[in-house]
Structure formats: structure tokens, C-alpha cells
Amino acid sequence: MDLSRHEFELDDLVERIKKNDTKLVALQVPEGLKMQALEMMDQIETETSARVVLSADPCYGACDLVHDKMQNIGVELVAHMGHSQMNIDSGMPTQFIPVTYDGSPEIAPVIPYLNAHRQIAFERINNPSNPVEDELEAIDKFQDMVGRIAPLTDTKLGLVGSIQHLHLLPTYKKYFEEAGFDVTIPVGGARLSFPGQVLGCNYSGDDPTVGHYIFLGSGDFHPIGLVLHTGKPLAMLDPYTGEATEMGRERIERILRQRSGLIMSSMDKNRFGILIGAKPGQMRRNLALRMKNKLEKHGKKGYLLAMEHVGPELIDFYPVDVFVNTACPRIAIDDAVKYAKPMITPYELEVVLGEKKWEDGYKFDEIP
Ligand code: SF4
């Protein structure tokens, strides 16, 4: 990743610090940009009379706003970089600082994927309920092991991206339209700030008019979540490298097989640790309590464990058989293999308890 091509828009922050005569500012920076944190601190301290303290703990999203810890050391303002505001209140005045990347890749490499995916969407509309007969047909139709076919009313191309590339979307909408696609930029719910934005835990812009997706961004974190959530084909165009690829059905199948295995191995278990995320945008206390009640209804034990950071070394030793995660949903999906015991989502617990059926289609754990 070429960090020098990222633009940090510090002007609004500098103006706010000057206007309020802020003395102590905390800077919170995502992991991928920490290398540049000191440079940003220098810039803020040069342009204002404030002192800057870096919140050096890991930060993976706007769900993770620093709050009481910074208040305790006298910070008046948090400058949170690279993520957009969510529908949460951390209790601290917070300035969100956009980070944009200036790469703008050619669309030619991704067009073959988009043509193939649009064809899948057409077939889904034309044969909405035909169950597939064999594996090859399942691959053709991008049908996963749960047999999910998203109900469609149109075959539009949904154009989405990660936060540092969202400024590209209006231009790329035109490019893809010129290439013959009917393009929409989905608008999601209150957890998302911008059209076309996706988070690892929220794909609420999805609707039945979208037949397939194009993701502008790098890595497969968002693509995996989007396909698990929607069951729709997705192509990826990476602004850092210009490379195009797709989120293959095999990858999603592998994850679903793993999820199914974890559910099966939790079925005869009796003691469950229910994780509550203490970060402001991950805290789902009511969901955790509901899961505890469900366990008790089925004659099982549920222990509520609240924590800010979740990791194997922090929980594996508890004498429970299974963990149910209500903190960041991706802890269960992406990190399951790191834990010595099954780590399942609330929906998966409902399948374990027989309250939901796996065959009805996998339900991604979304934070609204
Ligand atoms: S995916 Fe996890 S880390 Fe990312 S915004 Fe959602 S809760 Fe936060």
C-alpha cells in the first residue's frame, strides 16, 4: 500500500481546535495508517497550540471510539481518522477525519466478471425457485451450500466500496454505465454515513433490485461479509493494485462448512460463555441477555463476559464449552480457528437450540 497517496483532511480538525482553544487532543488511527500517526501529530501540533496524544491501542472501526480512558487523562477532543461516524455516542466530542486514496483503476479487467455475474442474476430472475440438481449447476448459479437464492426483482449492479475509495463511486458509476450496466449505489441504514459504504458488520444497502455487486477496495474482509449476507455474486476491483477478481463461491462454501461444523459441535454442549463487546459501537447487551434467556429456556447455562478486546488468550481458559459472540460479528466469522472452543454467532446459537433452521439460509450477524 502506497501510504503517500493517502490524503488526510486535517483542515476541519485544525479549525475546530483553534476555535475552541483545545489543549489536549487524542488521535485515533486505524491499524493500517499507524505508521503515519507521528507525522499527523506533528502537523496538528505545528498548526495549533494543542498537544496531541496518540491512542495507541488497536483500532478497527468507528465502533471502537476511545471514550472514558481519554477523558481520564484530560483529553477534550478525539480526532478519529479513516472511519465515518456511526449511530453511536461515545460520550466524547469526536471529529471524524476522512482519509482518501487517489488511485483510480481501469475497469477493463473486472468487466468479464461483471458480465458473468449479471448472467447469473438474469437466470435467478427467470428461474427463481428451481432447486439445483448438482454441484456444477450450483456453481453456475452461485448457489451456496444452504441453497440460498436471493429473491430478485432486477439485475442491477450494486456499486460499493470501502471508506477511502467512496469518492470514486460517482465517477465509476458513469464508467460502468458506459460499459452497459444498470448501476445503483446502495444507500444503507443509520450505521453507515455514505451511499455505497459497506462495513464488515453492515450491508444494509442491499435490496432485491441488486442482482450482483462490484466492490472498490482491497482485501476480502468486506467482500466475504457482503456475499455471506446477500448470497449474491461479487466482483472486486482493487484501487491499490488495479487488479480485478471475484469472491468465489468456493470460499463462501468453505466458510459455511466451517460454520455448520461449529454449530454441530455445539449442539450437545451445556455451558456457554456469551461475549459482550464493551466498545461503544459493538455493545449489544440486550442481544446477549436474550441469548442467555434462550439458553436457560433450553436447560443450558450462559455466562455473560464483557470485554473490550476479544482474543483467545483472554477467554479460552474459562470453563465453558462454547462462546457466543455478540461483540464485533467478524470475531466469530474470521477468527474462529484461533479459539480452542467453538465460537458462534447469536443466529448460530438459535440453530444450535433448534429455534432456527440452517436449511432456511444462512443469516449473517449484522449490527444495524
Ligand atoms: S466489522 Fe467489527 S470492527 Fe468493523 S465496524 Fe463492524 S463491529 Fe466494528
Average pLDDT, the chain: 93
Q: How far apart, in whole angstroms, are the C-alpha atoms of residue 185 and residue 122?
A: 19
| CATH fold group of domain 257-360 | Rossmann fold (3.40.50)
Q: Is there a shared CATH topology between the 3-100 domain and the 257-360 domain?
A: yes
Residue 282 CA, ligand 1 centroid: distance in Å: 7
Mark 39-55 as b/e (b = at least 16 C-beta within 10 Å): ebbeebeeebebebeeb
Q: How far apart, in whole angstroms, are the C-alpha atoms of residue 280 and residue 367?
A: 12
Task: Report CA 15 to chain centroid distance, whole Å.
Answer: 31
Average pLDDT estimate for 290-310: 97
Q: Is the CB of 284 under 6 A from ligand 1?
A: no
Q: Which atom of ligand 1 is nearest to the CA of 83?
A: 5
Q: Which atom of ligand 1 is nearest to the CA of 63?
A: 8
Q: Atom 1 of ligand 1 has which residue's CA nearest to it? A: 200
The pLDDT score that the predictor gives to residue 130 is: 66
3-100, superfamily in CATH? Diphthamide synthesis DPH1/DPH2 domain 1 (3.40.50.11840)
pLDDT for 62-120, tens place per residue? 999 987 788 889 999 999 999 999 988 888 999 999 889 888 999 999 999 999 999 99
**Among the listed residues 4, 223, 236, 222, the one whose alpha carbon sits nearest the alpha carbon of residue 103:** 4
pLDDT for 188-210, tens place per residue? 999 999 999 999 999 999 999 99
Residue 132 CA, ligand 1 centroid: distance in Å: 35
Q: Is the CB of 328 under 6 A from ligand 1?
A: yes
Q: How far apart, in whole angstroms, are the C-alpha atoms of residue 108 and residue 244?
A: 9
Average pLDDT estimate for 256-279: 96
Residue 326 CA, ligand 1 centroid: distance in Å: 12
The pLDDT score that the predictor gives to residue 129 is: 64
Residues near 352 by Cβ (< 8 Å), separated by ≥ 6? 263, 266, 267, 322, 344
Per domain, the residue ranges of the chain are 3-100, 108-247, 257-360
Q: Is the CB of 225 under 6 A from ligand 1?
A: no
List the helix and strand counts (H, then E) for the chain. 12, 15
What DSSP element (H or E) covers 263? helix 249-266
Q: Is the CB of 201 under 6 A from ligand 1?
A: yes
Asked whether the predicted pLDDT for residue 288 surpasses 90, the reply is yes
**Among the listed residues 235, 226, 246, the one whose alpha carbon sits nearest the alpha carbon of residue 186:** 226
pLDDT for 132-170, tens place per residue? 767 777 777 788 777 777 789 999 999 999 999 999 999
- Cβ 202 vs Cβ 182: under 8 Å: no
Residue 63 CA, ligand 1 centroid: distance in Å: 6
What is the DSSP code (8-state) at residue 176?
H
Cell of 157: 449492479
Cell of 288: 446477549
Q: Apex CA 368: angle with CA 364 and CA 95, to 5°?
A: 125
Q: Is the CB of 205 under 6 A from ligand 1?
A: no
Asked whether the predicted pLDDT for residue 323 surpasses 60, the reply is yes
Of the pLDDT bands very low, low, confident and very high (cuts 50, 70, 90), residue 360 is confident
Q: Atom 6 of ligand 1 has which residue's CA nearest to it? A: 201
Residue 59 CA, ligand 1 centroid: distance in Å: 10
Q: Is the CB of 191 under 6 A from ligand 1?
A: no
The dihedrals phi and psi of 54, each to the nearest 5 degrees, come to -85, 130
The pLDDT score that the predictor gives to residue 119 is: 94
Average pLDDT estimate for 222-244: 96
**Among the listed residues 40, 95, 21, 34, the one whose alpha carbon sits nearest the alpha carbon of residue 65:** 95
Residue 368 CA, ligand 1 centroid: distance in Å: 11
pLDDT for 1-57, tens place per residue? 555 677 888 899 999 999 999 999 999 998 888 888 999 999 999 999 999 999 999
Question: What is the pairing mode between strands 301-307 and 322-325?
Answer: unpaired
> What SS3 state is found at 58?
coil
The pLDDT score that the predictor gives to residue 238 is: 97
Of the pLDDT bands very low, low, confident and very high (cuts 50, 70, 90), residue 131 is low
Residue 118 CA, ligand 1 centroid: distance in Å: 30
Residue 155 CA, ligand 1 centroid: distance in Å: 29
Q: How far apart, in whole angstroms, are the C-alpha atoms of residue 240 and residue 249?
A: 24
- Domain 108-247 sits in CATH at 3.40.50.11850
Length of the chain: 368
Asked whether the predicted pLDDT for residue 227 surpasses 80, the reply is yes
How many percent of the chain have pLDDT more than 90? 77
Residue with cell 449473517: 364
Q: Is the CB of 161 under 6 A from ligand 1?
A: no
Instruction: Choose which residue among 80, 284, 334, 367 to substitute to test ligand 1 binding: the one with the highest number of ligand atoms within 8 A of its C-beta.
Output: 367
The pLDDT score that the predictor gives to residue 7 is: 81
Q: Which amino acid is located at 191 in the chain?
A: R
Residue 60 CA, ligand 1 centroid: distance in Å: 7
Mark 193-226 as b/e (b = at least 16 C-beta within 10 Å): bebbbbbbbbbbbbbeebbbbbbbbbebbbbbbb
- Cβ 310 vs Cβ 368: under 8 Å: no
